[in-house]
Amino acid sequence: MSTLSTAWPQRLAEAAAERRGQGLWRERRTRGTDLVDFAGNDYLGLANDPRLAEAQAKGARRFGTGAAASHLVNGHLEVHDVLERRLAELVGRPRALLFSTGYMANLGTLQALCDEATHVFQDRLNHASLLDGAKLSGARSRRFHHRDHDDLERLLARTPAEAAKLVVSDGVFSMDGDVANISALADLSARHGAWLMIDDAHGLGVLGAHGDGCVGRAHDVERVPILVGTLGKALGTGGAFVAGSEALIEHLIQFARPYVYTTAQPPGVAAATLAALDILASEPERRERLRDAIDYFRHEAALLGLPLADSFTPIQPLMLADTGRVMRWAVELHEAGLAVGAIRPPTVPCGEARLRITLCAKHGREALDRLLENLSRLQGEEAG
C-alpha cells in the first residue's frame, strides 16, 4: 500500500479524535414523531399542513417528480415561473430567482457579483454561507462587530471611494434571534456608495406586515438591492430565492454558477410553496399565534430566571455557556420528549454554547408549559 493511500485514513482519524476530545462531535438523530419539536424552523407550522402535501402531490403528478434539467436547459417549468413572480410580489421586488437551497443562493450571488477588486463587509455573526460565498469569490472581506454600525462606518470610510463595496448581513440572526437594523445599514451603505445584501432566511413569513420579512416592502429595491429568502423555514417547503432588480436577476442567471449548473427545484416543491404563500396571505392569525407563543414563553422564562438572550423572534437562545452543560440539558429534554437544538462551537463562539429553542404557531400553552417546567427542573437540580 502506498504512503498516500494510508495518509488519508490517518488524517480522518486524527480530525475525528480531535473533535471528540473537544466535546464537539456531532451526531445525527432521526427525529421521532413522539417528540415536541422546539428545534426546527417551521415557524408557522406549515411543514405538515395537508394542503401543502396535496399541492405537492398534484404538482408532481402534473409536472413530474423532478425537473430533469437545470433552469437554463429545459428544467424551468411553468410552476417555477409562477412561483418566482409570487415571491417577487411578496417582497416588493421587480424579479425573483429560485435556487435549490439558501446556501446555494448566497454562494451564487456573492460569487457572481464579487471578485478580487470587491470590498465585502459582513456582520461578524453572519451565516456560514455568506462568509463562504465571499471567500470563494476572492473578494477583500472584512467583518464588523455584531450590529455595530460605528465599526462598519469606520471600515467603509477607510475604503477607496471608487471601489466596489458590498455590505452583507443576516436579517434575523439564526443563532441569536436578534434582528439587523435595516434602516441603519441602508443609510450607511448609501452614504458610502455600497450595495446592501440582506439574507432574510428567518424573517420571511414571520416578520413584516404581510409576512414579507424584516426587509420586504418596507425597504424598497433602491435601499436594499439584494434580498435573499428561504422557503424551508416559515413557508414549510424547501429551496430559496434572490429578489432584486431586473438587471440583478439577469446577471445571476448568466453568472451564478450554483444556479447555472444545478438541476431545478422539483416542481412539486414549487407547487407546495405556492400553497404556502396562499396560506400566508389568508391566515394572518398564524403569525398572531406565533407572537403570542413568543410573548408567553419569554414572560414565564423571565419569572423562572432562565438566561434567555434578548430576542423577540421565534429563535429563543438559552445561554448556558458550557458545552457539557448544553449537552446534558439537551439529552435530559430529549428523554422528556422535547427536542431542542444543542448549539456549540464552532457554530457559535467559545463560551457561548446554548440551547436554541425555536417556537412555532402550533405550540400551545400545554407544550410551552411542559418545556418551561423541564427547564426549571434542570436549573433547580444544578442549583441544589
DSSP at 222: T
Cβ count near 133 (within 10 Å): 31
In a domain, 372, yes or no: yes
In a domain, 25, yes or no: no
* Rounded CA separation 81/95 (Å): 11
Buried/exposed 275-301: b ≥16 CB within 10 Å, e otherwise:
bbbebbeeeeebbebbebbbebbbebb
* Numbered residues of the known binding site for pyridoxal 5'-phosphate: 102-103, 174, 202, 230
* Rounded CA separation 26/177 (Å): 22
291 in the same domain as 278: no
- How many independent structural domains does the chain possess? 2
* Numbered residues of the known binding site: 26, 102-103, 127, 174, 202, 230, 347
Pairing of strands 353-358, 315-321: antiparallel
Residue listed under C-alpha cell 447555472: 260
State yes or no: pLDDT of 4 exceeds 70: no
341 in the same domain as 265: no
From 218, 247, 282, the end of a domain falls on 282
323 in the same domain as 263: no
pLDDT, tens digit, 9 for 90 and up, residues 276-302: 999 999 999 999 999 999 999 999 999
In a domain, 158, yes or no: yes
User: What's the helix, strand, coil split of the chain in %, to 5?
Assistant: 45, 15, 35
- % pLDDT > 70, the chain: 99
Query: Which of 238, 241, 235 lies closest to 283, judged by CA?
Result: 235
State yes or no: pLDDT of 6 exceeds 90: no
pLDDT, tens digit, 9 for 90 and up, residues 147-183: 999 999 999 999 999 999 999 999 999 999 999 999 9
State yes or no: pLDDT of 34 exceeds 80: yes
308 in the same domain as 278: no
User: What CATH number did the domain enclosing 267 receive?
Assistant: 3.40.640.10
| 10-19, 119-128, 152-161, 224-233: range with lowest mean pLDDT | 10-19
Which residue range is the domain that position 164 belongs to?
50-282
Q: What is the pLDDT of residue 31?
A: 73
| 145 touches 151 (CB < 8 A) | yes
291 in the same domain as 277: no
User: What CATH number did the domain enclosing 325 receive?
Assistant: 3.90.1150.10
Virtual CA dihedral for 249, 253, 255, 260, nearest 10 degrees?
Answer: 150
351 in the same domain as 265: no
288 in the same domain as 277: no
358 in the same domain as 219: no
From 249, 282, 315, the end of a domain falls on 282
247 in the same domain as 136: yes
Split at pLDDT 50, 70, 90, the class of 3 is: low
* Numbered residues of the known binding site for substrate: 26, 127, 347
In a domain, 342, yes or no: yes
* Rounded CA separation 327/26 (Å): 11
Q: What angle do CA 180, 185, 190 make, to 5 degrees?
A: 160
| 124 touches 168 (CB < 8 A) | no
322 in the same domain as 259: no
267 in the same domain as 234: yes
325 in the same domain as 235: no
From 234, 253, 282, the end of a domain falls on 282
